[in-house]
Structure 1
Amino acid sequence: MVKVTLVHASWCHVCPAAKKLWNDLKSEHDFDYEEVDIDTPEGDKLSEKYSIMSVPTTIIDGEIAFIGVPDKGEALQKLS
């Protein structure tokens, strides 16, 4: 099963749109999904591991797939 991790921040004004996109897709498709705040220990580990410089960043199956809010069609392509 595809694993999607959205790295976001509470202070990010773009992140809610990315959260909405992935939550909407999650309601229509079957994949593992988690949201990680970059300002937490787990977020710190991910930002170090993947050299994340900006949020929102979407990691799919262990690789950075998107920086920013992806287009819904592109997001769906990555899920299949």
Structure 2
Amino acid sequence: MKVQLLVSKWCPTCPQAERIWTEAAQKLPMDLQILDVAERDGREVVSRLRIKTVPAVVVDGTLKAVGVQPLGDVLKLLGA
């Protein structure tokens, strides 16, 4: 499973989302990528999926969530 977490340096809640998704990646098998929307890879995903806010979570190429989710919700989202 490929999980992309889109973040930005100016986002006040993105560090919290990064911590939660990093913890989830330690509990479940996934390829977690944290992408800054100001960098090329992040801009490509934002453009392709027309994402307007961060943090945003893309799982296997599909936008699944925006904002910060508690760890329990993250695990449910991933089918745990």
Say yes or no: TM over 0.5.
yes
How many percent of aligned residue pairs carry the same amino acid? 28
Counterpart-to-counterpart distance in 1, 2:42 and 2:29:
24
Classify the secondary structure of the residue corresponding to 1:13.
coil
| Structure 2 residue aligned with 1:36 | 35
- The count of aligned residue pairs is 79
Unpaired stretches in structure 2, ≥5 consecutive residues = none
TM-score (norm 2): 0.91
Counterpart-to-counterpart distance in 1, 2:76 and 2:2:
14
TM-score (norm 1): 0.91
Matches within 5 A, 1:8-47: 8-47=7-46
Unpaired stretches in structure 1, ≥5 consecutive residues = none
Counterpart-to-counterpart distance in 2, 1:5 and 1:39:
15
Counterpart-to-counterpart distance in 2, 1:56 and 1:19:
9
Counterpart-to-counterpart distance in 1, 2:66 and 2:77:
14
Counterpart-to-counterpart distance in 2, 1:46 and 1:31:
18
Structure 1 runs of 4+ off > 3 angstroms? none
